[in-house]
Amino acid sequence: MTARRCPRCGEQYAPPARFCAKDGSPLIEGDAQDEGLAQLATLTGHVLDNRYQVANRLGEGGMSYVYQADDLETGRTVAVKILLPRLARDPASVERLRREATIATRMNHPNVCPILRLGESPDGLLYLVMPFLEGEPLSEHESRRGPFPVEDGIPLLVQVCHGLQHAHELQVIHRDLKPENVMLVPKRGRVGEEVTYRAVVMDFGLAKERRASPDMAKLTATGIVLGTPEFMSPEQIRGKPLDGRSDIYALGVLAFELFTGQLPFPGKSPQETMIARLKGNPTPLRQIRADLPPKLETVVARMLASDPNDRYSSMEELAFALEDVVRAGVLGRLFRR
């Protein structure tokens, strides 16, 4: 039987495995893949649904392929996320896609990427249309430049707080916050000025409404823990009910990595880091970078508290705490909407 692989981490599995043990992604066939996937992987140059002129492929995920495209009706450049054909035949996967669209179309904030349209082509391809953002994921930016100085990192984190506060006010938590899901969009300034960035939270595909209906609950009642292991809160690892404080924890892991280039918990594998989170305390921030402000270490430590009750109560409260690290909030307020 054909081996299967995780499209996110590349790990190989033998049938009948269906999901990656590391990150929960649905596995894809390692060779010829399932029916229709070869066509999906070579859509460049085609016109989707008589409207979207497909250009280059931007990426491949556990549920979809993402392409850059031109909207022939509006002339706008967009990103099109197309559900994998085998998942399009699965009612639960289709429901998750529709839920992502429903959630994201309600959002209207400069630090959140909205969904413009949910569509289905005549040949059965399900897709989401989003604005095309010129920039790069925070993960790639980190890899290129290394740990951030405080004066660059704090404004980005504050912007992420504002975007997630908007989502939380709509009763939505992200559940898969990580550097790959934060896009940095360059702000255009005068020639010679230092480049600054707008942080945009992407991919609410794992997002869950806090007031979930019984049908919603069934979508994740599969025994599969959704999310990325290195960034999951202890309560998410345990499969407990989640609220916005789980996103605060994930943002704490992201912040720790942003300033140090390392994760706050030791481990040679995602599973070991999960165990470390359930058993111990995170590495102190300044143990890795002694030049960082003590106040920043205190803020990040509170974000990473094992008990949700010991974390900040909201993204808004966290944003104020981060702003207070530098110049009594002056720097952070420059990056509000």
* Spatial distance between the Cα atoms of 337 and 28, rounded to a whole number of angstroms: 40
* Spatial distance between the Cα atoms of 281 and 266, rounded to a whole number of angstroms: 10
In the block, tokens 């549920």 appear at 63
Query: Residue 262 carries which DSSP code?
Result: S
**Structural contact between residues 111 and 201, judged by C-beta atoms closer than 8 angstroms:** yes
Query: Residue 292 carries which DSSP code?
Result: S
Triad 41, 43, 47: Cα angle to 5°:
160
C-alpha 219: how far from its chain's center? 19
Nearest to 178 by CA among 147, 212, 142, 219: 142
What stretches of 7-87 adopt beta strand conformation (E)? Answer: 12-13, 28-29, 47-48, 52-60, 64-71, 77-83
176 catalytically annotated: yes
In the block, tokens 């006010």 appear at 169
* Spatial distance between the Cα atoms of 173 and 171, rounded to a whole number of angstroms: 7
Neighbours of 56 (CB within 10 A): 9
Neighbours of 210 (CB within 10 A): 13
* Spatial distance between the Cα atoms of 252 and 258, rounded to a whole number of angstroms: 10
**Structural contact between residues 311 and 302, judged by C-beta atoms closer than 8 angstroms:** yes
Catalytic residue among 176, 215, 243, 291: 176
**Catalytic residue numbers, as ranges:** 176
